[in-house]
Structure 1
């Protein structure tokens, strides 16, 4: 008999992932910013109310917070994806979508009130200066960073700065008698949106994209060029759990698979003004087989690509029905450092279908759609996907596709909704495994440092002892993991987490995908026997 936690954890996990999709979807904006200010009675009414509260109300009130609540309340009554970005959050949001920041380039944990370096990023200022995995950064410009009860944001503040500015770091390294001192010159550090790019077989490449930021197409293009040099003729494009971002970046990637003058998408605003986007000539994969992997958390700009290829009878969409976000936002400055991303149009796939899910029952109902998909069996069976026959469309080659809520794949791959499998996926992607693995690596840094990627991939195995140590580690969080069925998968995920800390996300995804059901389905399509 399942416990309450076992019964509902898949829903909790799915909802958490859906929030990521929704946040990604909020960033699906484009175009310039207009400022149609005009004086009218409705605006005067709100201004007067704020002034009365400011100057006449009996108690002191933070009217900034009132304005924030008011703006959020207004947007909530519009649609699920119009969103307000307060001034305090704007820089972080903008930086994430810009695709880089200025700093020294390390991944770190705060362990015992000290910055512990997980790994310096490849090619970063910290790597060039000689910072290594396992180092503890104790001082930045003689300011102590240990035992200060600082949160991660505060610690990061000391490491960021202007381009080419220098920071002097004093570092403790195990085995060294004295603290080591490094001069590190800050530089632009990319926030990568391509997690992995490697060869699945002699002529099949694989690229995983996690979002669509300003640099995504450039990253994709560079990855594609590298794979083509390795012999890639065909490509797997993994858009699972990709919540979206800039539409323009998505259309540029879609263009690489389409021949000249094929419609990628069109948008329509409240005045029924239509803007069409067509492909250009010279796409790298125009004559290739392409397989696009999607799931229930594939949203927004990701759906632009899947819809464009499916509607043009290009490639094969594999996985589960996508999220269903077909609204376009434009960012508008509110004049005080805050901004609103307001829905200004709907986008349509080439056949004319809108894939936006209905939201007439309110945002709460809209955001709980994952739970409904889980309960009605849609994640486990294609036959459980409910379609609206009135929203039926036909591609040039006669394939039937549907609007009204997400992209339905050409080939369905069910989701394993078992509690223990969901738990493992959550532990892998949420970072639960990371700290345990960091502690394991700390036991013998010299050994792990000596391993090449090839040696690690081919020869390193997770021992039963390490597996049991991890299960015991979980018990410290009151989670008793007992399922033998998934122990091989748990071992692979632990190895993948080690690979990430030693070699980066490319090595990690490669190990994860070794037994991935959707990747296996692609390989079955290529080699049916």
Structure 2
């Protein structure tokens, strides 16, 4: 039984680590160096040509090249990766911060495209689509009963800005089918989930990644909180796998005074680039707290390191992931690209927070398991530090390099040993799908409820808690929920609030019992 309980957190942590691998790179734009030729490289080209011309069977040599490139990069480091042509659009879209589409959150429910919720102010909402609607056809293309992969679905719903698509909709709540024409528009992909006040003086901003639009989103959120009276700020980069280095630099600049060092990078030739704060900055005074955990990586760690080493704020949580390598994205000419590690970065005190990767990528990304077994996720004194990697902050405080940012204030993972996967599960897509299916059974029972009435309705019953336990069990997951019943009910209520109201209500429910938030608010 113990093995089964360990298995789930490993799976979930690995999924988050993949986010670090895909999203956690630091962007140095510009063309890469041209490729030179020698006998070995010519040998590889000759082999591919021979396979194409002489091999007895037809072979997709593009796939062979992909395998070869991946094999080479695997010998370098865990963050030098190849992005195949078919993956480039999705990866680029995520970092760009928007896409053109119809504006719905959906998933395949019983092999039908079910709308979880239209995106606020998006084309679908303007056209009158509602949560629970099924999309049966896009034009003449049938979308149900075909087990279509996600990329095929996206291609039918996305398109050029201003283009039109006719959808055939089935509205279950009214048992009717109708056609609607939607004009595709630009749909933002938010990298700042929420900017809200936790009390009269404390603002809170949640950043989920560092994309092209992140600083603009953060800046607007920060100014809005200041107008509401925020004199203290919590920046939440938990589970943030990183992204563009420039975005982290610009956010750090909001807090640091002119000429304070944010980060420095060093490449193969020993060239050092340093980034300093400017005279601009909208929150250079007032308390700052940065929330981190074991999945906080890359650009997120640059931000946390700059705040910590300049003694500008307090880092709260658990030791971060430990990614201190810099990647450059280089197009390969056929629509694919390689993200090649070209430098290391160092925090202002001079420390590298890159953790070792000499035992292979699998062990590197499964570091969560090691931290769990060692007890590090539950007690600060279980964090291993090396005296040889001791550095000093601006005011002389001791900090350590060698593997992530160690927080100033430690907060253990919620729950006891064996319950550690619960928080990840609560924030996964499974919770969203579960609540959608519960609502889909009888939307009329919820449609006229106010937020307080909804919360009271959910608090007074254990029906949804029991249903969720059954739902998870049928999914094949083994996890103990009874010991954290109140936490599970809180996340269920939060997801109901998100789907019936908005993102703000979701975070209102989630944050009020958040262990790190409570730790910060107690310190004030």
Specify the alignment match of 1:68 in structure 2.
Answer: 66
1:157-196 residue CA offsets vs partner (Å, 9 max, x unmatched): 2211110011122222235464233221101111111112
Residue 13 of structure 2 contacts residue 366 of structure 2 at CA under 8 Å; is this kept in 1?
A: no
C-alpha separation in 2, matches of 1:365 and 1:479: 23
Q: Aligned pair 1:525/2:523, yes or no?
A: yes
- Provide the C-alpha distance between the structure 1 equivalents of 2:311 and 2:364, rounded to a whole number of angstroms: 30
Distance 1:316 1:173, change over 3 A: same
- Please name the residue that 1:496 is paired with: 494
The alpha-carbon deviation at position 483 of structure 1 amounts to: 4.7
Q: Give the Cα–Cα distance (whole angstroms) in 2 for the partners of residues 301 and 329 of structure 1.
A: 11
Change over 3 Å in CA distance of 1:376–1:182 after alignment to 2:
same
CA offsets, 1:244-277, max 9 Å, x none? 0000011111111111111100111111111111
User: Which of 288, 296, 304 is the aligned partner of 1:298?
Assistant: 296
Aligned ranges for residues 281-360 of structure 1 at < 5 Å? 281-360=279-358
Written as runs of structure 1 = structure 2, the 5 A alignment for 1:191-206 is 191-206=189-204
Cα-to-partner distance string for 1:50-72 (whole Å, 9 max, x where unaligned): 11222233433322111111111
Residue segments in structure 1 that go unaligned for 5+ positions in a row: none
Q: Distance in 2 between matches of 1:177 and 1:39?
A: 66
Match of 1:16 in 2: 15
| 3-state SS of 1:242 partner | coil
How many residues matched? 524
Gap change, CA 1:440 and 1:462, over 3 Å in 2:
farther
> For the residues of structure 1 that align with 2:315 and 2:421, how far apart are their CA atoms?
27
**1:91-170 alignment to 2 at 5 Å?**
91-170=89-168
Q: Please state how far the C-alpha of 1:156 moved relative to its aligned partner.
A: 2.2
SS at match of 2:264: strand
Shift of 1:333: 0.9
Report the equivalent of 2:233: 235
Q: Using the TM superposition, give the Cα deviation of residue 475 of structure 1 relative to its aligned residue in structure 2, in angstroms.
A: 3.7
The 10-residue stretch of structure 1 (115-124 or 164-173) with the greater mean CA deviation from structure 2: 164-173
* Structure 1 stretch displaced more, 424-433 or 336-345: 424-433
Distance 1:68 1:480 in 2: 37
Given the superposition, is the C-alpha separation of residues 34 and 143 from structure 1 closer, same or farther in structure 2, using an over 3 Å criterion? Answer: closer
Q: Which residue of 1 aligns with 2:220?
A: 222
Query: Match for residue 370 of structure 1?
Result: 368
TM-score (norm 2): 0.95
Checking the alignment, whether the CA contact within 8 Å between 1:29 and 1:341 is kept in structure 2 is no
The aligned counterpart of 2:403 is: 405
Q: Give the drift of 1:20.
A: 2.2
Q: CA deviation at 1:447?
A: 4.1
TM-score by length of 1: 0.94
Structure 2 contact 5–479 (Cα < 8 Å) conserved: no
Are the equivalent residues in 2 in contact too, given 1:115–1:136 (CA < 8 A)? Answer: yes
**Structure 2 vs 1, CA of residues 174 and 276 (structure 1 numbering), >3 Å: closer, same or farther?**
same
Alpha carbons 1:103, 1:188 under 8 Å: kept:
yes
Unaligned runs of 5+ in 2: none
Mean alpha-carbon deviation: is it higher for 383-392 or for 35-44? 35-44
**For the Cα contact (< 8 Å) 1:171–1:181, is it kept in 2?**
yes
The 1:142/1:51 distance shift into structure 2, 3 A limit, reads: closer
Q: Which runs of 4+ in 1 moved over 6 A?
A: none
